[in-house]
Amino acid sequence: MKYKAIIFDLDGVICFTDEYHFLAWQALAKKLGITNFTREDNAKQRGVSRMESLEVVLAKSDKKYTYEEKVELANYKNSLYVKMLQNMNESDLSNEVKSTLTELKNRGIKIAIGSSSKNAPLILNRLGILNLFDGISDGNNITKSKPNPEVFLKAAQFISVEPKECYVVEDAIAGIDAALAGGFTSVAIGDATKHSGAHYKISSFSELLNLPF
Catalytic annotation present for 11: yes
Please tell me whether residue 171 binds Mg ion under the rule CB under 5 A: yes
| Partner that binds at residue 118, options Mg ion, ligand BG6, none, CB closer than 5 to 8 Å by kind | ligand BG6
- Comparing CB distances to Mg ion, the nearer of 114 and 135 is 114
Q: Which stretch binds ligand BG6 (CB under 6 A): 97-105, 109-117, 157-165, 186-194?
A: 109-117
Distances (CA, A) of 161 to 147, 165, 177: 20, 6, 20
Give 79-85 contacts, CB < 8 A, sequence gap 24+.
80/23, 80/24, 80/27, 80/28, 81/20, 81/21, 81/24, 81/119, 82/119, 82/122, 84/20, 84/23, 84/24, 85/17, 85/20, 85/119, 85/122, 85/123, 85/126
Q: Are 28 and 76 in contact (CB under 8 A)?
A: yes
Buried b / exposed e over 158-167, threshold 16 CB at 10 Å, is: bbebebebbb
**Least distance from C-beta 88 to ligand BG6, angstroms?**
13
Q: Which stretch binds ligand BG6 (CB under 6 A): 31-39, 57-65, 110-118, 188-196?
A: 110-118
Please tell me whether residue 11 binds Mg ion under the rule CB under 5 A: yes
Please tell me whether residue 78 binds ligand BG6 under the rule CB under 6 A: yes
Please tell me whether residue 49 binds ligand BG6 under the rule CB under 6 A: yes
Catalytic annotation present for 138: no
| Partner that binds at residue 53, options ligand BG6, Mg ion, none, CB closer than 5 to 8 Å by kind | ligand BG6
Residues taking part in catalysis:
9, 11
Residues that bind ligand BG6 (CB under 6 A): 10-11, 21, 45-50, 53, 78, 115-119, 139, 172
